[in-house]
Amino acid sequence: MINKTSTFRNLLLHLFFWAFLIALPILLGPNTNSNNAEEIRRSYFWIFYMTSFTVINIPFFYLNTEILLPKLLRAKGVIIYLLTLIGAIVFMLWIHEEVFHWFYTHFIHPDSQGGGGGPRRGALMRMIFQLLFYAAIGTSYRLISDRMKEDEQVKEQENERLKSELSFLRSQISPHFMFNVLNSVVSLSRRKPEMVEPVVVKLSELMRYMIYETNDSIVPISKELVYLESYIDLQKIRFGDDIQIDFKHALGPKSSHIEPMLLIPFVENAFKHGVGFIENPTIEIELKDSATELYFRVANKKGTTINEIKDESSGIGLANVKRRLELLYPTNHQLDVNDFGSEFIITLTIQHV
């Protein structure tokens, strides 16, 4: 949809175009300061006639751009359009002949009643050329304008599609996250039932962020950091001393912004696949934000002897966040996923623009 700013800009462009053409005969016209009365009359004749010629051509221009091109050329074909355009040109030549006759009798021979005739052959050819020029300008303008509108509509449709896809991807994160956390609560209730209450309290904090903060398209990285810390604290309650967690973070004096819940899938993945049948499980998380870029790294140990049985939801989070990165930061992000056998490392860099 064309916004009001674009419409107003087009209106100003049209006004400037016609004002320039109307003023051109005055700016480039013959000298009117002569002492010869006949020369002065001819000068004014030329100025007023050429100015009126431009004014009369305005309806012809918009007849071509707003009616003939969209209504006839596309609907009836080139032949019907050209025949109608030729008819319009002939009609405009008749109008210009009448205007020429009127100006001739009033400026050149004011006492004549029918003298002067119509434009001479040279003037007639100039009229035809100028009408064809206006037709060509109008056709070019209309075709370019239509192409720009079509491109804008395609771009808007693509933006709406991307917004819908992003909305869908973000809606996937919350159920996937809740699925993993509830599995953790169930497991904890069997082994350490006394820890269920603090876990539920932490879970409520996470849900509050998910419900009230993630409606915005971007959030400060400081808020995303608090969310990550809450999630890590929840996992510390769950695993206790069974896992070593090292979380380093450093934010700049001015917090940047990021898509909400963009980093959590990497941390979830580390806790999901970095514990279990692993000797001395270790998870390292590093978050650094500067004026130029965001750096995020997650590393976890992997089991090498026992193949992990993955559920159907395994990999949803990573595939989701990869697609979101492609949509949100198509040219200014780099995601490296490295599986070294005994260690799994994900490194994400987002350049601030």
- Please classify residue 249 by burial: count the beta carbons closer than 10 Å to its beta carbon, then call 0-12 exposed, 13-18 middle and 19+ buried: middle
Residues with Cβ within 8 Å of 135's Cβ and at least 6 positions away in sequence, in order, are: 60, 64, 85, 89
pLDDT of residue 175: 65
pLDDT under 70: residue ranges of the chain: 1-6, 29-45, 49, 103-123, 157, 159-178, 180-181, 213-216, 303-317
Nearest to 3 by CA among 109, 155, 144, 119: 155
Q: Give the model's pLDDT for residue 299.
A: 94
Residues 329/350, Cβ–Cβ less than 8 Å: yes
Q: What is the pLDDT of residue 306?
A: 47
The confidence score (pLDDT) of residue 114 equals 47
Q: Please tell me the predicted confidence (pLDDT) of residue 326.
A: 87
Whole-model pTM: value is 0.55
pLDDT value for 112: 47
Query: Residue 289 has what DSSP assignment?
Result: E
| DSSP conformation letters of 112-178 | -SSTT-S--HHHHHHHHHHHHHHHHHHHHHHHHHHHHHHHHHHHHHHHHHHHHHHHHHHHHHHHHHH
Question: Looking at residue 191, what is its pLDDT?
Answer: 74
| pLDDT score, position 115 | 47
Distance between alpha carbon 92 and the CA centroid of its chain, in Å?
Answer: 43
